[in-house]
Structure 1
Amino acid sequence: MEIQYLGHSAFKIKINNTLLITDPFLSDDPDLGIKFPKIEARIVTVSHNHHDHNGVAAVSGNPFIIRTPGEYEVSGINIFGYATFHDEKEGKERGRNTIYLIEGEKMNVCHLGDLGHVLENELVEMLGEVDVLLIPVGGTYTLDAVKATEVVRQIEPKIVIPMHYFHPKFKFKLNPVENFVKEMGVGVPEKTDKLKLSKDKLPQETKLVIMEAS
């Protein structure tokens, strides 16, 4: 399995030569100011219908698009969508959000989208063993550093990759990723532009990885 960060909440995940894209955005999005690469994929997941997360037109190849909770199987990849909220008031402020659990190559990747609250124990149990957690940490619209750290403690993944945090070109205000690094208290995190994973080489304890956008 390979994971690359495309910026904001978008990732390219390669599972058995099948490409999956999470929360794509359009290169001409005025609030982001960053470019989305030209890319072709088989699957796209959309956590919620806000413009900086639902830019499916940016992905070519006539992908299978998943926008709602449920169970899906595409090209041998199992995807489970779980209903959550974009805020701490059951969606009354910013609506609903879908968490996706992506299963492939005997590993589980969990993309939290724009999650705005800590998880109920029942959902944590449903997620089960998570190998890689993609988690928003920038606050304002999602979990902040403190709440994100609490969610990490709930899920206990092998690898944590933060997303949805400050970028100098963004027009909306998010907190820097350093706030989350400090709150996690794990020392100097690993930094990389591509993560290559196999089940037998996953860390025994939770590892924090900061990914640079490709």
Structure 2
Amino acid sequence: MSLPSVLLRLVASLAFATLASSLSHAQSGEPGCRPEMAGHRLPIQRVQLAKDEVRLTFVGHATFLIETPGGVKIATDYNDYVRPPVTPDIATMNKAHSTHNSRRPDPAIKQVLPGWDPAGKGAAHHDVTLGDVRVRNVPTNIRSYEGGTDYDGNSIFVFEIGDLCIAHLGHLHHPLEPGHLRALGRVDIVLFPVDGSYTLDQEGMLEVLKSLQARVMIPMHFFGGGTLNRFLARTQELWPVERREQPTITLSKAALPTKPTMIVLPGH
């Protein structure tokens, strides 16, 4: 065999070994990539949204990625453990707890909106517009660790995108009062916790959903299928339930269900 042929074979062998090693590291999450953050290294291929559409992806826990037709990306309950696989333009954080807020948000985020006043002087007030989305908050109270009340310690975040109004209830601990309902206005899509213990009990959450009358209701903040199924058993005679196989759903005002519907996205 000639020397050029040997060299070509050697180069090809080295290239194949390098590629195999790279694939092995990528599949194992190495080097130095925390499992829950691995998604940051993966590009997302998205189909362009129509002007009246919104895309929701249930990332996990209480975190959703909301994408607008204008390309704005929003992460709800942005934290240091459960994050979407892209850097959002807006990050909302409902409650000052490690799984609901971040101590080190990505500096590339244009708007970081905590749902409480970090200075402890009152309620948080947000009303910002970025591209084709308006984001505002409605403060609520939460239980303190000592058993008292942390006034204005949580926020319901409202996202107005085109004709759609999406409300993320955050770490809601109590029924909504008339003042909350007036501040929220019409809600088309509601993202709500169903754990029934860390947040509002399941019976109370049912009353919240009845008062909101959103056309799409998407549960979150459940710890295992048992908790979710117990909640759904309470709803079976109230609203139809659709279980989706994918964590992403595209919605538009015109295509909303004709009556309130529970849509369950895979997650935890």
The 1-side partners of 2:197 and 2:233 are apart by 18
- Shift of residue 43 of structure 1? 0.4
- For residue 182 of structure 1, the aligned residue among 230, 233, 247 is 233
Aligned to 1:78: 134
TM-score (norm 1): 0.84
Q: Which has the higher helix share?
A: 2
Unaligned regions of 5+ residues in structure 1, if any? 28-34, 169-174
1:121 to 170, 174, 178: 178
Q: Deviations over 1:35-60 (max 9, x none)?
A: 54432111011111110000264656
Amino acid at match of 1:15: T
Partner of 1:201: 255
Aligned residue pairs, count: 199
- Relative to its length, the structure with more strand (as a share) is 1
The higher relative CO (CA closer than 8 Å, separation ≥ 6) is in 1
Q: Give the Å deviation of 1:204.
A: 1.7
Please say which of residues 54-63 and 119-128 is displaced more in the overlay. Answer: 54-63
Residue in 1 that maps onto 2:193: 136
Deviation at 1:2, TM superposition (A): 0.2
Are 2:71 and 1:50 aligned?
no
Determine if contact 1:136/1:162 at 8 Å carries over to the other structure.
Answer: yes
Q: Which is higher, the Rg of structure 1 or of structure 2?
A: 2
- The code of the aligned residue for 1:48 comes to K
Q: Is residue 2:14 matched to residue 1:14?
A: no
When normalised by structure 2's length, the TM-score is: 0.68
Local SS of the residue matching 1:161? strand
Contact 1:158 1:207 in 2 (8 A): yes
Alpha carbons of structure 1 residues 180 and 94: separation in structure 2 relative to 1, 3 Å: farther
Q: After TM superposition, what 4+ stretches of structure 1 lie above 6 angstroms from structure 2?
A: none
Work out whether residues 82 and 98 of structure 1, in 8 Å CA contact, stay in contact via their aligned partners in 2.
yes
Note the C-alpha offset of 1:93.
4.5
CA RMSD in angstroms comes to 2.3
- Asked if 1 retains the 8 angstrom alpha-carbon contact of 2:76 and 2:93, the reply is yes
Kindly, what percent of the aligned residue pairs are identical? 25
- CA–CA distance in 1 between the matches of 2:207 and 2:140? 16
Q: Which runs of 5+ in 2 are unaligned?
A: 1-53, 115-123
